[in-house]
Structure formats: C-alpha cells, structure tokens
C-alpha cells in the first residue's frame, strides 16, 4: 500500500477499474485519467455521501503515483481532529494533491483561513489541487468571501450517486474481489434488511469479510443474523 501524508494510506481497491460506471459520471472519470493538471490547476468534485468522491480522488492518486510522480490524498473526515497542521507542506508537492471532504471544516474560521492561504500558495507555486465536498462550492456557506472565491477557481463536476441496485452490484463485485461468494438469496436478504446505499453496504462487507475469515464460514443468512442480530 502506498503511504501518504501523516502515514494515511490509500484504501485498497479504490482504483478506476473498480469505480461503477454511472453514465453521468463518465466525463470526470475520463478527465481524471489524463494529465489534467496541465490544463486545470484546480478541480472541485461535488456529490452526496456515497457518490464516489473519495474513490475517485484515491484512484487519481494511484494513477499519478504509478506514473512516477508524487501525489497525496488527505481526508479531512479522518484528519480534521489533528487541526490545520495537516495542510502544511501540501503546496510543495511536485504534481497534485487531493483534499477530500472540505465541507466538514467550512464555517470554522481557523480552517477557512488556512485553506485560503493554502490555495493562494498553490496558485503561486503552480501546484495542482483536487477538492471535494458534498455541495457545489457556490453553495458552501464560507465565512471568508476570499475563500469562497478561491474554491471556484477551477471547474466543478457533480457526481451522481449510485442507485440501490447499482450499490448492490458494487457490493457483490467487491465481495468477489475479496474472494467472497455472496449467493443471490443472501444478497436479497441483505437488500431487505439494510439501507441499500454504498456506504452502509461496504461497512457490512467489511464485517462479513472479517467474520467469515475468523470463523472459517461461508456467508449465509445465519452468519448475517449472528453478526447483525435483529433489534427491537
């Protein structure tokens, strides 16, 4: 696994090949597989939870690194608690860095100030940036007008989230990649019991994967009931 800033690693399986091909997302998926930084010094990906922003940012990071360039991925969902120091030095990357979930710190004046100065330095150093958030940058309630103006320095691409059926298809595909066989009857049981969104399903897959390995058992309805006992 390639290591990133603060020893936060890219998540296995987050490559372009494993990104579900929703037609509405094809333009940005294709763009991120090019040397986009030569044309767009800044890009913003907007999309609700589960739309694949983190997947695409990490896939882009993989691709750039595989070409022999330096790139970093920073998840503010993971690292916000460490404060603005996680942004230090990002403007000196040779190619590009990915800053995920910036909407989580919008409204905090300390973070907004740090982000504004970071984007200023990136522009001065010709450092490329890919940002992501749940909302279009024009809709973010920034306290600092100067930050709001900088968030729209580049194009914004809106990602369409997966439908319930598409999320289930991804669940089954990712299970197969891990060597897990999920019978259709078990998949139907999962779709009835749990919210059919990709975040919930991936959390379930992680738990089933660990339980199947620890217990040496196939994934069945009985195993699911043991791991996720009914409540109420």
Range of the domain at 21: 5-158
Confidence of residue 176 (pLDDT cuts 50, 70, 90): confident
pLDDT at 12: 54
- The mean pLDDT of 157-164, rounded to a whole number, is 92
Residues 121 and 142 in one domain: yes
pLDDT at 9 over 60: no
User: How does pLDDT run across 44-91, given as a tens digit for each residue?
Assistant: 999 988 889 999 999 999 899 888 888 889 999 999 999 999 998 888
pLDDT at 232 over 80: no
DSSP per position, the chain: --B-GGGPBPPTT-SGGGS---GGGHHHHHHHTS-GGGT-SEEEEE--TTSSHHHHHHHHHHHHHHTT--EEEEEHHHHGGG-GGGGTTGGG-SSEEEEE-GGGTTT-HHHHHHHHHHHHHHHHTT-EEEEEESS-GGG---S-HHHHHHTTSS-EEEPPPPPHHHHHHHHHHHHHHTT----HHHHHHHHHHS--SHHHHHHHHHHHHHHHHHHT----HHHHHHHS----
- The mean pLDDT of 109-124, rounded to a whole number, is 95
- The mean pLDDT of 110-128, rounded to a whole number, is 93
Boundary (domain end) residue, out of 123, 142, 158: 158
> Domain holding 179: CATH number?
1.10.8.60
| Residues 186 and 220: beta-carbon distance below 8 Å | yes
Boundary (domain end) residue, out of 158, 185, 213: 158
- The mean pLDDT of 86-110, rounded to a whole number, is 89
Residues 108, 144: Cα–Cα separation, whole Å: 10
pLDDT at 11: 52
Confidence of residue 109 (pLDDT cuts 50, 70, 90): very high
Is 195 among the domain residues?
A: yes
pLDDT at 8: 40
Is 175 among the domain residues?
A: yes
pLDDT at 101 over 70: yes
Residues 24 and 120 in one domain: yes
Residues 139 and 177 in one domain: no
Residues 136 and 49 in one domain: yes
> Domain holding 87: CATH number?
3.40.50.300
Backbone angles phi, psi at 182, to 5 degrees: -110, 100
Is 65 among the domain residues?
A: yes
Give the dihedral of Cα atoms 49, 51, 55, 60; nearest 10 deg.
-120
Is 232 among the domain residues?
A: no
Q: How many domains does the chain have?
A: 2
User: How does pLDDT run across 197-230, given as a tens digit for each residue?
Assistant: 888 888 899 999 998 888 888 889 999 998 988 7
User: How does pLDDT run across 137-157, given as a tens digit for each residue?
Assistant: 999 999 999 999 999 999 999
Confidence of residue 13 (pLDDT cuts 50, 70, 90): low
Residues 142 and 168 in one domain: no
Residues 193 and 146 in one domain: no
Residues 147 and 116 in one domain: yes
């Amino acid at each position: 696994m390639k290591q990133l800033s603060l020893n936060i690693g890219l998540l296995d399986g987050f490559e372009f090949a494993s990104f579900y091909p929703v037609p509405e997302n094809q333009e940005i998926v294709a763009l991120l597989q090019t040397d986009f930084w030569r044309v767009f010094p800044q890009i913003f990906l907007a999309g609700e939870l589960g739309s694949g922003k983190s997947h695409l940012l990490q896939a882009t990071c993989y691709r750039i690194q595989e070409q022999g360039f330096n790139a970093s991925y920073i998840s503010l969902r993971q690292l916000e608690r460490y404060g603005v120091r996680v942004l230090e030095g990002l403007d000196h990357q040779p190619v590009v860095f990915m800053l995920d979930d910036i909407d989580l710190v919008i409204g905090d004046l300390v973070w907004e100030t740090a982000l504004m100065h970071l984007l200023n330095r990136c522009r001065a150093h010709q450092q490329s940036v890919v940002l992501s958030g749940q909302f279009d940058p024009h809709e973010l309630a920034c306290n600092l007008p100067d930050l709001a103006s900088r968030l729209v320095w580049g194009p914004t691409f809106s990602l369409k989230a997966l439908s319930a059926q598409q999320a289930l298809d991804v669940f089954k595909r990712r299970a197969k990649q891990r060597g897990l066989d999920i019978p259709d009857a078990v998949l139907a049981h999962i779709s009835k019991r749990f919210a059919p969104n990709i975040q919930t399903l991936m959390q379930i897959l992680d738990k089933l994967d660990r339980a199947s390995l620890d217990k040496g058992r196939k994934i069945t309805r009985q195993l699911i009931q043991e791991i996720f006992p009914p409540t109420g």
